[in-house]
């Protein structure tokens, strides 16, 4: 940062900052998003207490940097002002880092935006769409690779047997647990699809988005049932959603091989940091869902 530039300070972002941050967001690679879509990051979609969209670098005259933070909220316990997932008797506060962008003149101050997140020692952090530069920074800070590739699954007609695919919203909600219902309701106004796989008394909740002719699966309620039935339901799910294939991160398949599928490697692996099993990390409360468009 040049010595004659105004000094920038980090502060918590507020909804009213969007007008100043939007020109920065437009510099990110994903130019398909409209202003209205970007504004979702500055909207308290889930009516959280003490909510903030993330942190900004502010000179007092203008905002020159932003790092977004989306906190996991559905079906969770409220702990210390953040929502946390109860796993094995422990509470895990989860935050998805997104849209890290800093004006070129202030790039040397970029790390200032990350520090407030890092100071929350118990916070599980995810980065699912890192640039090469951000990926390298997160890697040095101890972030682990979460996924390096996804599997693209093409539709093949199959005998369903006792397996059902339930897509009518009211029926889907009726089969969900209390925690899953909170997630279902929280995403009701977003551009997502939600369904249930049912096999006799067993149920698997799915949440996903559509992009480039594929249904991207971001949240899986029962990986065991999903792996067992994906070969049977893929045709009906594709036909119901009007897509040419499904895409799911490899870790959710647990090494299962599927006929007529292929591996798609990410340009940068998805990452996470914190004391949470990798198989419990998902993208249901992330920019992949919040910024999704049909």
Under 8 Å between Cβ of 85 and 285: no
Residue 173 CA, chain-centre distance (Å), reads: 21
Amino acid 93: pLDDT: 83
Whole-model pTM: value is 0.90
Q: What's residue 225's pLDDT?
A: 97
Residue with tokens 């047997």: 161
Asked if 114 contacts 67 with a C-beta cutoff of 8 angstroms, the reply is yes
Task: Please report which residue ranges of 87-130 form alpha helices under DSSP H.
Answer: 111-118
CA 109 to chain centre: 26
Q: Residue 141 corresponds to which tokens in the numbers above?
A: 């800070």
Distance CA 283, CA 239 (A): 24
DSSP string, 147-191: EEEEEEE-------TTEEEE--HHHHHHTS-HHHHHHHHHTTTSS
Q: Tell me how far apart the alpha carbons of residues 54 and 10 are, in angstroms, rounded to a whole number.
A: 10
Q: What is the pLDDT of residue 287?
A: 96
| Residue 77 pLDDT | 28
What is the total residue count of the chain? 294
C-alpha 224/C-alpha 199 separation (Å) is 12
Buried b (16+ CB within 10 A) or exposed e, 250-281: bbbbeeeebeebeeeebebbbbbbbebeeeeb
**Which DSSP letter does residue 1 get?**
-
Q: Are strands 54-58 and 9-12 parallel, antiparallel or unpaired?
A: antiparallel
Cα–Cα distance, 220 to 234 (Å, whole number): 14
Other CB atoms closer than 10 Å to residue 81's CB: what's the count?
Answer: 11
Tens-binned pLDDT, residue by residue, of the chain (294 aa): 556 889 999 999 999 999 999 999 999 876 679 999 999 999 999 999 999 999 999 999 999 999 999 998 643 322 223 334 444 445 568 999 999 999 999 999 999 999 999 998 889 999 999 999 999 999 999 999 999 999 999 999 999 999 999 999 999 999 999 989 999 999 999 999 999 999 999 999 999 999 999 999 999 999 999 999 999 999 999 999 999 999 999 999 998 889 999 999 999 999 999 988 888 888 999 999 999 987
pLDDT at site 87 = 42
φ, ψ at 249 (rounded to 5°): -60, 140
């Amino acid at each position: 940062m040049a010595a004659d530039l105004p000094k920038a300070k980090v502060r918590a972002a507020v909804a009213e900052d969007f007008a100043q941050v939007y020109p920065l967001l437009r510099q990110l690679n994903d130019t398909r998003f409209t202003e209205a879509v970007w504004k979702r990051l500055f909207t308290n979609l889930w009516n959280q207490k003490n909510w903030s969209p993330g942190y900004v670098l502010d000179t007092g005259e203008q905002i020159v940097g932003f790092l977004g933070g989306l906190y996991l909220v559905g079906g969770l316990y409220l702990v210390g002002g953040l929502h946390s997932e109860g796993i094995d008797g422990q509470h895990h506060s989860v935050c998805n880092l997104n849209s890290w962008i800093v004006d070129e003149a202030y790039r040397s101050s970029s790390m200032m935006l990350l520090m407030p997140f890092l100071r929350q020692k118990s916070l599980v952090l995810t980065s699912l769409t890192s640039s090469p530069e951000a990926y390298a920074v997160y890697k040095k800070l101890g972030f682990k690779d979460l996924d390096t590739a996804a599997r693209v699954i093409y539709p093949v007609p199959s005998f369903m047997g006792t397996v059902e695919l339930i897509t009518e919203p009211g029926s889907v909600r009726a089969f969900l647990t209390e925690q899953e219902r909170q997630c279902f309701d929280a995403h009701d106004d977003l551009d997502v699809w939600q369904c249930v796989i049912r096999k006799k008394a067993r149920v698997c909740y799915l949440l996903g988005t559509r992009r480039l002719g594929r249904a991207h699966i971001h949240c899986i309620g029962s990986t065991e049932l999903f792996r067992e039935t994906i070969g049977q339901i893929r045709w009906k799910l594709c036909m119901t959603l009007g897509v040419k294939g499904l895409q799911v991160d490899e870790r959710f398949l647990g090494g299962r091989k599927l006929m007529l599928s292929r591996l798609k490697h990410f340009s940068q692996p998805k990452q996470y940091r914190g004391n949470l099993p990798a198989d419990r990390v998902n993208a249901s409360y992330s920019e992949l869902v919040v910024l999704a468009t049909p």
